[in-house]
Amino acid sequence: DTAVSQTPKYLVTQMGNDKSIKCEQNLGHDTMYWYKQDSKKFLKIMFSYNNKELIINETVPNRFSPKSPDKAHLNLHINSLELGDSAVYFCASSQRWGPDTGELFFGEGSRLTVL
């Protein structure tokens, strides 16, 4: 049983298109995250939700819009895709959020290629 699952695993699309990546966790965690990993493997946090409430929103273009319909799901919608959006996007979850934020459980990643 996969703890954090994200779909699709691969996404190849043209510039200007809109795409979505879905994420689900079955761990009963309160907090979910989206991270972006670039070609140099640098991981940057994009968004975080705690109990469906947005708590971290980094300097991300407003073409990126997260949506958390419930605690177990955090989706990422990207409008007007650009070449620079090509990356691997990771969803993650943690049991709680706060000074004692513990380990994050990561999905396997969604590799987005914009042509």
Partner 1 sequence: SQQGEEDPQALSIQEGENATMNCSYKTSINNLQWYRQNSGRGLVHLILIRSNEREKHSGRLRVTLDTSKKSSSLLITASRAADTASYFCATVSGSNYKLTFGKGTLLTVNP
Is the Cβ–Cβ distance between 101 and 30 less than 8 Å?
no
Q: How many residues bind partner 1 (CB under 8 A)?
A: 28
Among 1, 39, 42, 83, binds partner 1 (CB under 8 A): 42
The yes or no reply on residue 39 touching partner 1 (CB under 8 A) is: no
The yes or no reply on residue 56 touching partner 1 (CB under 8 A) is: yes
Is the Cβ–Cβ distance between 5 and 24 less than 8 Å?
yes
**Whose structure tokens read 């090509």?**
86
Q: Residues 29, 24, 21, 66: is their CA dihedral positive or negative?
A: negative
The yes or no reply on residue 107 touching partner 1 (CB under 8 A) is: yes
Among 16, 43, 63, 82, binds partner 1 (CB under 8 A): 43
